[in-house]
Structure 1
Amino acid sequence: MFNPSQNEVRQFFCETYRKHRANEILTPIEAIASDWVLQHPEYADDLTDINTALTADYSVENGRTNPFLHLSMHLSIAEQISIDQPPGIRAAATALTQRLQSEHEAHHRIMECLGEMIWNSQRSGLPPDGAAYIDCIKRKV
């Protein structure tokens, strides 16, 4: 399992954004990430200066959305859908996207379910419950 550090995640998104702006060739995962970055222009300042990004505090107490967490969740969901893991996420995400007529909005709803699944897993000490995750997504349809 790939488990990047906070700094590695921030460097990845900043470098992806830099490469996009410089019209450099992106790796396949950078291309997917870049698509999501471009759908969040409000994060441009956060992604432009890597030194600031590495030290920025996105705690709840500061009232700022963590752009790196948000973009990482988009990337995770896109990967889950592409490989249909957990089983059924592709169909559930497709149905939600069709109902909302927006892949982006569907991802945001799926994020709620992903966050809930992770929170429940951390709280219980049990592995993430993929079936409950899919059920949560289906309830959003």
Structure 2
Amino acid sequence: MFNPSRDQVRRFFIDSWRKHHAREVLTPMETIAADIVGHHPEYHAIVEDPDAIDRDFTPEDGGINPFLHLSLHLAIEEQLSIDQPPGIRAAFEAACARHGDRHDAMHDALECLGEMLFSAQRNGTPPDGAAYVACLKKKAGIG
């Protein structure tokens, strides 16, 4: 299983965004990452700062860790590409239809993913994919 370090994840987003702006050839995953960053102008200054690799983003700062947020987007894109957990793609499509906007639907999925991961960590249990899909269906108005 691929398990990158915090610095590797951050470097990946920083490099993907830099390559995008330099019009360099991107891998398919870098293209997805650059697209995600593109949808988050509030994070552009951070991913354009090479020193951001070493910066701590704590809840006490009053915001979400931008690299965590971008990483969750990337995880959901991967889940959608393979429909894992089963049913996530259909629930996401329903959320897209409800919102009329893919990015808003993505944030619904991101919220549900975060809730599932928090619950699993708090309870010391494996992540519950069915609960994750059910949460997204509920937000989409189909569950």
Does TM-score exceed 0.5, indicating one fold? yes
Which structure 1 residue ranges, 4+ long, deviate > 6 Å from structure 2?
A: none
Equivalent residue number for residue 34 of structure 2: 34
Q: TM-score, normalised by structure 2?
A: 0.95
Equivalent residue number for residue 9 of structure 2: 9
Q: How far apart are the structure 2 equivalents of 1:123 and 1:65?
A: 19
Q: How far apart are the structure 2 equivalents of 1:28 and 1:99?
A: 28
Q: How far apart are the structure 2 equivalents of 1:83 and 1:138?
A: 18
Cα drift, residue 34 of structure 1: 0.8
Cα drift, residue 10 of structure 1: 0.5
Identity %: 56
Q: Is 1:66 aligned to 2:33, yes or no?
A: no
Code of the residue aligned with 2:128 in structure 1: it is D
Q: TM-score, normalised by structure 1?
A: 0.96
Select between 56-65 and 111-120 the one with higher mean Cα deviation.
56-65
Cα drift, residue 65 of structure 1: 2.7
Q: Which 5+ residue runs of structure 1 have no aligned equivalent?
A: none
- After TM superposition, list the pairs within 5 Å mapping 1:1-141 onto structure 2: 1-50=1-50, 52-141=51-140
C-alpha offsets along residues 33-90 of structure 1, whole Å, 9 cap, x if unaligned?
A: 111111111111101121x211212101111331111111111111101100000000
Q: How far apart are the structure 2 equivalents of 1:102 and 1:22?
A: 28
Q: How far apart are the structure 2 equivalents of 1:115 and 1:132?
A: 12
Cα drift, residue 126 of structure 1: 1.3
Q: How far apart are the structure 2 equivalents of 1:3 and 1:116?
A: 21
Q: Which 5+ residue runs of structure 2 have no aligned equivalent?
A: none
Q: How far apart are the structure 1 equivalents of 2:111 and 2:62?
A: 18
